[in-house]
Structure 1
Amino acid sequence: MQISFPQPVLSPCIGICQLGDDGYCVGCLRSTAEIGRWLAMSAAEREHVMNVVLPEREAEKA
């Protein structure tokens, strides 16, 4: 019998939870809607936010 353990939910959170004037978290750059839905999102949705959306936001801030 093989025991399987649940996989941890991937998150860009770095523990700096503060909203900036632009409406995005200062630490992870997620919107309040993304933060609120994070656990309800599918793994594919979370990966899209982390691999596409957040890098685009970070590039816009630079």
Structure 2
Amino acid sequence: MIATLVSDGLTNSRIATGINRSSHTVNSHLHLRKMFGTLSVRSRSELAGTVRQKLWEAP
């Protein structure tokens, strides 16, 4: 869900509000940083591109 919100262009603050967490938590290893490593991306824009590609390829 967080990766999709990033691909929609939401800021960490807006994402945090939407999932009832702090923006620090969204940016920490618990969320974005962990996704970066898992998906082998280095930035929010790479993450957004990966999410869009995966959604496009989904049946």
**Scaled by the length of structure 2, what TM-score is found?**
0.35
Structure ranking higher in helix proportion: 2
Larger of the two Rg values belongs to structure: 1
Q: Which has the higher contact order (CA 8 A, sep 6+)?
A: 2
**Scaled by the length of structure 1, what TM-score is found?**
0.34
